[in-house]
């Protein structure tokens, strides 16, 4: 499996199709919410197996914070380490870009994935697109204070 930033628009398009299948098809998220207008400014990360996109997420940068979102993995490869590998690569890219922390809104069903990777929740549970989420972050630079 190869994990890396997308190299061309065809890979971005494949990532967007995967997200649409997962979020809109499986979870009932509206197409308008899934395509929130931030994809053009995002760094898209993909997991490729036999040349096909099987996992993805994106990073947006806001000041010293990298915001990770739109994590999606093909159903047959969930719980096989793909999401953890994509997450690890995203963290590395965020740190290389100078981010002091990486934050995300985790679906409660995926919260354990992020906890295992060292993310810490803050604030309470909230609803996005009828799905329970929790805000989480991980410090990438040791001298940065946590939000807690």
pLDDT in tens, 19-56: 999 999 999 999 999 999 999 999 999 999 999 999 99
Burial label, 142 (beta-carbon count in 10 A; 0-12, 13-18, 19+): exposed
Q: Which of 48, 116, 49, 109 is nearest to 87 (CA)?
A: 116
Confidence check: pLDDT of 136 > 70: yes
CATH of domain 2-139: 3.40.630.30
pLDDT of residue 23: 95
Confidence check: pLDDT of 143 > 90: no
Give the Å distances, CA to CA, from 94 to 40, 98, 146.
Answer: 17, 7, 17
For residues 76 and 80, what is the distance between their CA atoms, to the nearest angstrom? 9
Tokens of 75: 């159903």
């Amino acid at each position: 499996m190869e994990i890396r930033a997308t190299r061309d628009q065809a890979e971005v398009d494949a990532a967007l199709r995967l997200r649409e299948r997962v979020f809109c098809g499986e979870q009932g998220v509206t197409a308008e919410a899934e395509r929130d207008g931030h994809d053009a400014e995002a760094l898209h990360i993909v997991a490729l197996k036999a040349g096909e996109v099987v996992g993805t997420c994106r990073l947006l940068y806001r000041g010293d914070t990298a915001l990770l979102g739109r994590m999606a993995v093909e159903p047959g490869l969930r719980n096989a380490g793909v999401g953890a590998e994509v997450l690890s690569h995203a963290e590395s890219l965020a740190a290389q870009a100078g981010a002091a922390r990486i934050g995300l809104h985790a679906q409660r069903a995926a919260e354990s994935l992020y906890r295992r990777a060292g993310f810490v929740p803050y604030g309470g549970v909230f609803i996005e697109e009828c799905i329970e989420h929790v805000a989480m972050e991980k410090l990438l630079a040791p001298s940065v204070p946590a939000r807690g």
